[in-house]
Amino acid sequence: MKNFLNIAIDNQRCAYEIIKQTEIMDIWQSVGAEINLVGSLKMGLLMKHCDIDFHVYTSPFNLNASFIAMEKLAENSHVKVVTYHNFLEMVDHCVQWQAIYEDDDNRQWQIDICHIVKGSRYDGFFEHVADRILKTLTDETKKAILCLKNETPESEHVMGIEYYQAVIRDGVRTYDDFKKWRKIHSIEGIVEWMP
């Protein structure tokens, strides 16, 4: 079995190939949007859960542009499913898109795109979180996070931020300790922690 660090490197390479193949950055920019990579891929912490996260902004907010961009993305033959959720009236102030991309090895990748209202509570927030985590990461904490992600069963849903809090803030290093940590630190909704 491959070393988990090599798996992480391979997954990063594949994810960046998908970004290139879909032309997702160009698509969103073509409708006047700013598009930012966020999440585990940006931080070099992508492991088994194959997901690519973006936050996009139009000024002013343009829902029509969101649909145009996703229609263009859906024209890609590797994109098999597109879903849409409207959270504009909630604290998120966004619409959330999810595209399922199937690569040449029939592996499914989840592409999450949050189109966020400029000036709202989370405008730029998660970009800032990613930057802070990147500045805080050491080789040792990065390895610990990737190891925990690798040991987490596929059936277990864990938000990336849970790993980062547990390892960076609270010194968790083993999967058994991580399971105990999660029992004590139940998480609901949007997590606003950053190092």
Q: Comparing C-alpha atoms, which of 53, 59, 71, 63 is closest to residue 32?
A: 59
pLDDT at 161 over 60: yes
Tens digit of each residue's pLDDT (9 = 90 or more) over 104-133: 999 999 999 999 999 999 999 999 999 999
Residue 108, classed as helix, strand or coil, is: strand
Nearest to 47 by CA among 12, 17, 79: 12
66: enclosing H helix or E strand: helix 63-74
- Give me the pLDDT at residue 1, please: 43
pLDDT one-digit tens code per residue, 62-119: 999 999 999 999 999 999 999 999 999 998 899 999 999 999 999 999 999 999 999 9
| Averaged pLDDT score across all residues of the chain | 93
Distance set, CA 2 to CA 9, 43, 96, 124, 150 (Å): 11, 21, 34, 36, 11
More reliable by pLDDT, 97 or 194: 97
How many Cβ atoms sit within 10 Å of the Cβ of residue 49?
15
Residue 82 DSSP class: E
pLDDT tens per residue, range 20-54: 999 999 999 999 999 999 999 999 999 988 999 99
Asked if 85 and 95 touch (Cβ cutoff 8 Å), the reply is: yes
In contact, 38 and 53? CB cutoff 8 Å: yes
User: What pLDDT, on a 0 to 100 scale, did the predictor assign at position 2?
Assistant: 57
Element (H, E) at 110: strand 108-116
Instruction: Give CA 22 to chain center in angstroms.
Output: 17
CATH 3.30.70.270, applies to 4-121 = no
94-102 sheet: strands from edge to edge:
34-38, 51-57, 108-116, 94-102, 79-86
Mean pLDDT across 131-144:
94
Cβ-Cβ contacts under 8 Å for 159 (sequence gap 6 or more):
187, 191
- Report domain extents, the chain: 4-121, 137-184
Q: How far apart are CA 6 and CA 111, in angstroms?
A: 22
> What is the pLDDT, as a whole number, of residue 187?
79
Nearest partner of 92 among 115, 58, 64, judged by Cα:
115
